[in-house]
Structure 1
Amino acid sequence: MNITMSRAWALFKAHPYISNVVGYTTLFASADLIQQSIVTTWDDIDWSQTARVAFVGFCFHANFNYHWLKGLERMLPGGGAKRVSGKVVLDQLVAAPATISAFFIGLSVLENKEDPLENWREKFWTSYKALNFSLVPPVARTVFVGGITLVWTVFLCHFRQQKDDTQTKPPSH
């Protein structure tokens, strides 16, 4: 392990909460920037959208995942097929719906949408269609999940921006 990795690991061990929450929030906001850079030019980035994504990531996702993953480790400590399977099942049944819901509803609230549940109703089930807990030590698990979430959030941000062509809505007057 080189000196940079040793220092990063020492930082995680000394300040696991702050390291994980800041790391997760950074990855979460980066996901929106990646998604936007795929569909637009860098000059046309909607920084207020990225700020909203970062806000939802910090206020809910990073904190929720930090405490959720610690709680899962307390409930089902260690590895082994049975415990890892239990963690994955609980994560998919509890955390996945909560975090997907917080993403869609939180951003709609921050955008002052008339119906903050509309986007969630339209896109939740499509979005909700495993993370291996045995390879990552608990002290770094939140930021690791944040890295995985980076890819997932790119998808969610992209999907959320898509217009639903399958539904025709009457024009509003």
Structure 2
Amino acid sequence: KGSWTWAAFKAHPYISNVLGYTTLFASADLIQQSVLAGIDWCQTARVAAVGFCFHANFNYHWLRGLERMLPGTGVKTVTGKVVVDQLIAAPLTISAFYIGERLMVTT
């Protein structure tokens, strides 16, 4: 049973990526809320929606493109990937998170 699940995720990395990001975003929000206050399920739904609609898709394609631009696992290559990621993707994804969640609150 477990090997079938793992094989399905490996065969469909896009689906596992979307499910993974959505689960991580929702789980992180629930943990943060449980530490600070009570649970607001609407907020968790908004955070999960932003993870599902934007972050999962963006990161899936961004990381594949980054690997094509800078293939390899050497120290210099990985350092280059991190620098490019932090200069380009980090500002976009952080902005998308805050803007996306805020837009969902006002609608």
Please give the TM-score of this superposition, normalised by the length of structure 2.
0.92
- Structure with more relative contact order (C-alpha pairs < 8 Å, separation 6 or more): 1
Cα RMSD over matched residues?
1.6
Give the direction of change, closer, same or farther, for the CA distance of 1:9–1:76 in structure 2 (3 Å limit): farther
Deviations 1:98-148 (CA, angstroms, capped at 9, x unpaired): 1100011111111118xxxxxxxxxxxxxxxxxxxxxxxxxxxxxxxxxxx
Counterpart in the other structure of 1:72: 66
Amino acid at match of 2:15: I
- Paired positions, count: 107
* Partner-residue secondary structure (3-state), 1:102: helix
| Partners of 2:9 and 2:83 in 1: CA distance | 27
Check if 1:52 corresponds to 2:46. Answer: yes
Match of 1:19 among 16, 21, 29: 16
Larger fraction in helix: 2
Amino acid at match of 2:84: L
Q: 4+ runs of 1 displaced by more than 3 Å?
A: 6-9
Deviations 1:144-173 (CA, angstroms, capped at 9, x unpaired): xxxxxxxxxxxxxxxxxxxxxxxxxxxxxx
Check if 1:108 corresponds to 2:105. Answer: no
Task: Percent identity, please.
Answer: 74
Counterpart in the other structure of 2:33: 36
Please give the TM-score of this superposition, normalised by the length of structure 1.
0.58
In structure 2, runs of 5+ residues without a counterpart are none
Deviations 1:26-74 (CA, angstroms, capped at 9, x unpaired): 111111000001012xxx3100000000111111111100110111111
Q: CA deviation at 1:90?
A: 0.7
Q: CA deviation at 1:12?
A: 2.6
Counterpart in the other structure of 1:167: none
Give the direction of change, closer, same or farther, for the CA distance of 1:8–1:82 in structure 2 (3 Å limit): farther
